[in-house]
Amino acid sequence: MTATKLRIAAFQRHPIFDDLQATIAQLHTDLQWCQEQGVELALFPECWLQGYSSDAQTIAQRAISTNSLAFKRMLQALSAFDTDLILGLFDQRMAGIYNSAAVLRQGQLMGVYAKRHSNERGVLAGTASLIFNRSGWSYGINICNDANYPDCAAELSQQGARLLCYPLNNMLAPVTAEKWRSKSVDNLRQRAKETGCWVASADVVGKHEGKISHGCTCIVAPDGRVVARVAEGQEGVAVFDIG
């Protein structure tokens, strides 16, 4: 059993598109706040680094390699902070583009999870369920559509994860967004109850090009209780000491 608690923060943010410096500036501000609050793990939305898209051409333009100079400069810019950061991005690799979430710690890339059930055009599906550790806690990542597949969460739990982190992007056509408004939360609650894990999600919020995201940023206890949530329609952060 894990003896210590882990303070986690899930950020609900307006999307930023094609402006890496603006994203880094917001991350710098948010991680400074995390450091002041003693947050050990911070979670941001799906593909938040350059902005989400389901269009293949746009995705190709936004994809970035974790070996690129731009990515390494970002690591350096955020290296002063002790908080672990889970950051979504379109990830350019030799094989192609993946919808991924990178785990960053004090300027180091600790690993990258690729979405298993990718639903974006021209994006490859990941195959590995990775486990990360912070302060005696083991955690894993699933991304957005992965939450619809209980096996993804089960694999992480079977590998010893006690916290499941879900970068989300529910920026959808209004009718579809309304459908997922409660279903996204229900999915997260189900994954928590099935696995006995804590669950945290981070979503975008607002309107863009005729689409809307109400925001589904929350922290869920292993029994399915939502113990912290950012209000719909607003930017904010959900913070909780899990354990």
What single letter denotes the amino acid at residue 42? A
Structural domain contains residue 156 = yes
What pLDDT, on the 0 to 100 scale, is given for residue 2?
Answer: 44
CATH assignment at residue 49: 3.60.110.10
pLDDT per residue over 194-208, tens digit each? 999 999 999 999 999
Q: What is the rounded average pLDDT of the residues 47-60?
A: 97
- 60 pLDDT band (50/70/90 cuts)? very high
Say how far apart CA 237 and CA 241 lie, in whole Å.
Answer: 13
Q: What is the rounded average pLDDT of the residues 12-27?
A: 97
The reported pTM is 0.97
**Total domains in the fold of the chain:** 1
What pLDDT, on the 0 to 100 scale, is given for residue 3?
Answer: 55
Is 175 exposed, middle or buried (CB count within 10 Å of its CB: 0-12, 13-18, 19+)? exposed
Q: What is the rounded average pLDDT of the residues 215-241?
A: 98
pLDDT per residue over 139-165, tens digit each? 999 999 999 999 999 999 999 999 999
Q: Which residues make Cβ contacts (< 8 Å) with residue 22, sequence separation at least 6?
A: 16
Q: What is the rounded average pLDDT of the residues 72-83?
A: 97
Contact predicate 225/206, CB 8 Å: no
What pLDDT, on the 0 to 100 scale, is given for residue 119?
Answer: 95
- 1 pLDDT band (50/70/90 cuts)? very low
What pLDDT, on the 0 to 100 scale, is given for residue 57?
Answer: 97
Which residues, listed in sequence order, are joined to residue 139 by a DSSP beta bridge? 132, 163
What is the percent of the chain where pLDDT is above 90? Answer: 98
What single letter denotes the amino acid at residue 44? F
- The residue range of the domain holding 49 is 6-242
Q: What is the rounded average pLDDT of the residues 23-30?
A: 98
Structural domain contains residue 1 = no
